[in-house]
Amino acid sequence: MENEKNAKGGRAAMSGRARLWLKGGFLAAALAMAFFAGREFWELRHYKETVVSAPGLTEVKMLSDYLGSLKGTWMDTPIFVYDSGVPGGSALYMANVHPYEPATSLSAYIMMENIKVSKGKIFVIPQGNRSGSTTGMLGNAYPKFFHVKTDFGEKQYRIGDRGTNPLDQWPDPFTYVNYPSKQNLAYQDIRNMNRTYPGRKDGTLTERASFAIMELIRREKIDISIDAHEASLMYPVVSTYVAHERSFELAMMAAMTLSAETFDMKCESSPKGLRGLSHREWGDYSDTLAVLMETPEPFIDRVVGPMTEELFTEGKDEFLATAAKHGLTYHPYKIEFGSPLWYRCGRHLSGAAAAITWMGQFFPEKEIIAEWPGYKDLEAHDCGYFLHDPAKADGKLVFKI
Amino acid sequence: MVMLEQIIHVIYVLFAAIIGWFLLRNLFKRVKKPGIVYDIVYAYCVIPFLLRVLGIK
């Protein structure tokens, strides 16, 4: 009897130890998964993109120069200034406010690497929401990076999220109330830089970044401010300028010129009741002429198949082509062409140039004379042709962002 | 306001740490639902809290 009890106790003890080992094994497996996943997240968070500025660079400012509390945060971002020294107008080209639309930042880099300004002044912000560019979209299985082929090898760029990284601003409220309009917006829009304008200097990190952008526009007296975005093809405002009422005429003329000469471009008036967006608040809270631009990016359409790097760079998707055949897209779409990266960058570069040119037509005292590669240049050579080798460049003109 | 935002942010990170610790405790020392499937679930659910506390994701 005694022996039988001991035997049972032994079996129970063995079973308990085995179970503990099993639990430890499960935990070890989970930690291994956390390690491998974490390594990828870490890589995206800390990877820095390289840009070689054109020699015309006169100054590099930081967003924290316009609001000190941004210093040392992930929202602090460089502002590149190209001043001709000749009196004229001033323009701001801002990209990657939504970092899951990174053809905008690539277009800014192409602009920065090749810009020549002979009248007026140009400000370029290639990473509008730098925090958001350091995390991927939850649940969408996006690639972390995209690559651009150049003569000196491939260049790698981040594909980020729509809003600020939750590591930097968290938690979200149940409802986001835009300041100062008090308009209720979706909760996650509290991290969406293009819903938090005009911002507030003591608000959330995203609101403070938006406030700093407003301060930049006001203090530097920027005449035209261009906010570059990408849109899904099933979104009505794709391939469009969205302009504040003061800039609507110049945007309409730019759209007509582009549509006649290079590519289809629409023009919409900024709705007065839709608050927090750049094309509304930049114009209402400063004297700038506010324009937002959208290009067609199949990568962020909801109906597409696997979200691969190839889809991002080529934009070819059979599901989207089927949707287009049924008239469900707001941009003419053919799978043979897709919506390649050069096309989207080219649209932005020529779109910005056309808006600035037309500002000079309407307001001669604000004329800016500047040049950078446009749509036809990118059509002929692709994006990588216009990027320069950091290893061979003057170190003072190489920046990591 | 900025300071308040930062305090709330830190409190939520601490919450993530506490929840992660509870998940670990329940993995090894729970009374109810002793099945292996629950072991796997508790171990797996630690991952997002761990990554948040470490400032990785």
Comparing CB atoms, the residue among B28, B42, B43 nearest residue A29 is B43
Task: Report yes or no: A177 at the B interface, CB cutoff 8 Å.
Answer: no
pLDDT digits (tens, 9 = 90+) for A73-90: 999 999 999 999 999 999
CB contact under 8 A, A27 and B43: yes
Residue of A194, A259, A258, A254 whose CA lies nearest to A224: A254
Chain A CA closest to residue B51: A38
Task: Tell whether A45 lies on the interface with B, counting CB pairs under 8 A.
Answer: yes
B5 and A20 in contact by Cβ < 8 A?
no
Q: Do B57 and A37 touch (CB under 8 A)?
A: yes
List pLDDT tens digits, range A181-225: 999 999 999 999 999 999 999 999 999 999 999 999 999 999 999
Closest CA to A269 of A295, A250, A288, A256: A250
Q: Which of the residues A20, A21, A27 would you substitute to probe the B interface, choosing the one with the greatest number of B C-beta atoms within 10 Å?
A: A27
- Give the pLDDT score at A6: 47
Q: Please tell me if residue A332 touches chain B, with a CB cutoff of 8 Å.
A: no
Helical residues (DSSP H) of chain B, grouped into ranges: 2-28, 36-53
Mean pLDDT by 10 residues, chain A (401 residues): 47 72 96 96 97 98 98 98 98 98 98 98 98 91 95 97 96 96 96 98 97 98 98 97 98 98 97 97 98 97 94 97 97 97 98 98 98 98 98 97 97
pTM: 0.94
Partner-chain contact B51 A20, CB within 8 Å: no
Q: What is the mean pLDDT of chain A?
A: 95
What's the pLDDT at A7?
46
Residue A31 tokens, joined: 């930690």
Q: Does A38 touch chain B (CB under 8 A)?
A: yes
In degrees, rounded to 5, the angle at the alpha carbon of residue A131 between the alpha carbons of residues A116 and A76 is 60
Nearest chain A Cα distance for residue B6, angstroms: 9
Task: Give the residue from chain A lying closest to B54, CA to CA.
Answer: A38
Interatomic CA distance for residues A38 and A131, integer angstroms: 17
Q: Say yes or no for a CB contact (<8 Å) between A34 and B9.
A: no
pLDDT for A15: 79
| Cβ-Cβ contacts under 8 Å, A26 against chain B | 27, 39-40, 42-44
Task: Characterize the bridge pairing of strands A224-231 and A289-296.
Answer: parallel
Contact B2 A202 (CB under 8 A): yes
The closest CB to that of A41, out of B13, B44, B51, belongs to B51
Cβ A26–B1 below 8 Å, yes or no? no
Dist CA A131 CA A216 (whole Å): 19
Nearest-CB residue to B1 (from A23, A30, A203): A203
Give me the residue from B1, B5, B51 closest to A34, CB to CB: B51
Nearest residue of B to residue A136, measured between CA atoms: B57
What pLDDT does A10 receive?
Answer: 45
Distance from CA of B16 to the nearest CA of A (A): 11
pLDDT for B1-55, tens place per residue?
Answer: 889 989 999 999 999 999 999 999 999 999 898 899 999 999 999 999 999 999 9
| pLDDT at site A139 | 81
Percent of chain A having pLDDT more than 70? 97
Distance from the Cα of A69 to chain B's closest Cα (Å) equals 8
Q: What are the start-end ranges of the H helices in A167-247?
A: 205-219
Q: What is the CA radius of gyration of chain B?
A: 14
Question: CA A125, CA A112: separation in Å to the nearest integer?
Answer: 10
